[in-house]
Amino acid sequence: ILGGKSAKRGNFPWQALTNIHGRGGGALLGDRWILTAAHTIFPKGAGGNNVSLDQLAEEADIFLGHTKVEELHKMGNHPIRRIFIHPDYNPQDEHNFNGDIALLELKHAVTLGPTVLPICLPDTTNTTFYMDGHLGYVSGFGVEKNFISNHLKYVSLPAVAREKCQHWLDNKKGDMPMVFSENMFCAGYPTGKQDTCQGDSGSVFTVLDRGSGRWVATGIVSWGIGCAEGYGFYTKILNYVDWIKGIVRED
């Protein structure tokens, strides 16, 4: 997290620290699911994507319940039973992060408390969260000032209108033809110093629904061009609510 603040315990109780192919983040859903980005499990262009999901589940580390990495490690990891990758995600296509969403099922349900609480999913009829300027908060253990953070950070970023995102991207297209699909949104500032960065992937972009008083996950940290050099791009959770519920409820 660049240009953010240190989170206090209980500020983002859904925040998960993952270590699958390096540092990543995730968010607790219910009491035994972790929502994260698919590319934290199958990185783009990685040659080792021949490993099975079962083996990945066996080797992945998930931590919950603290804002300090060291304390998180001390509290012990939460083993994974299964991994669900969205079928639209293509790890071979380095320029297209469409479908960058995954679910991790924990072997054991976690006991909720002040420092471990789930995030809500958005109501599929409500699209206001993605309107231009709607503020949200992103937390993560990712890079800050060139150093990977040992403390949970957060930053407040506005959602950006699709046209602005596309326009900004088009200007950058010459170098890297990245795909901005309808299953994504962007947030942040075109020239601002506040952004998410490497190591934040999989963490969720959350907004406060003032009507219900609940925090809702609207996006997943997915990709960007550099860090704090423009907008960041996030998986649009609203488009995957049915997929998520289908998996979670079936279990």
Partner 1 sequence: SSPVPRKLFGEIRTPGYPKPYPNNNISIWDIRVPEGYVVKLTFRYFDLEPSETCFYDYVKIKADKKSLGRYCGQLGSTTGNHPGRKEFLSKGNRMHLAFHSDFSNEDNGTVIPYRGFLAYYQAVDLDECDPNNAAEKDEGPQCQHFCHNYVGGYFCSCRTGYRLQSDHHSCKVECSSELYTEASGYLSSPEYPQPYPEDLRCNYSIRLQKGLSVNLKFLEPFEIDEHQQVHCPYDQLKIQVRGREIGEYCGRVSPGSIETNSNEVDILFFTDESGFSRGWKIHYTSEKIRCPQPVPRDQFTIIRNPQPVYQFQDYFIVSCKTGYNLMEGNRKLMSFTAVCQADGTWHQSMPRCEIVNCGNPTDLTNGAFSYVNQSANNIYQSVITYRCNEPYYHIVTGTGGDRFTCSPEGTWVDQDGQARIPACLPVCGKPVNPITEFQR
User: Euclidean distance between the first and final Cα of the chain, in Å?
Assistant: 33
**Which one among 51, 53, 75, 120 touches partner 1, defined by CB under 8 A?**
120
Active-site positions read 39, 100, 201
If DSSP states are collapsed to H, E and C, what string results for 1-37? CECCEECCCCCCCCEEEEECCCEEEEEEECCCEEEEC
Of residues 12 and 180, the one with the C-beta less far from partner 1: 12
Which single residue is written with the structure tokens 């925040």?
15
Q: Is 115 helix (H, G, I), strand (E, B) or coil?
A: coil
What is the distance between the alpha carbons of residues 207 and 129, in angstroms, rounded to a whole number? 7
193 binds partner 1 (CB under 8 A): no
The residue to which tokens 């009829």 are assigned: 125
Distance CA 118, CA 33 (A): 9
Least spacing, CB of residue 7 vs partner 1, in Å: 7
- Which stretch, 26-34, 78-86, 97-105, 220-228, contacts partner 1 (CB under 8 A)? 26-34
Q: Does 113 bind partner 1 (CB under 8 A)?
A: yes
- At its nearest, how many Å lie between partner 1 and the CB of residue 142? 18
Residues of this chain, 202-221, that bind partner 1 according to CB under 8 A: 206, 208-209, 212-216
Site for partner 1 in 64-103 (CB under 8 A): none
For the bound state, the minimum distance from the C-beta of residue 119 to partner 1, rounded and expressed in Å, comes to 6
Task: Return the SS3 of 153.
Answer: strand
Query: Which residue's CB is nearer to partner 1, number 94 or number 123?
Result: 123
Q: Is residue 112 part of the contact set for partner 1 (CB under 8 A)?
A: yes
What is the contact surface with partner 1 in residues (CB under 8 A)? 7-14, 29-31, 111-114, 117-121, 137, 154, 156, 206, 208-209, 212-216
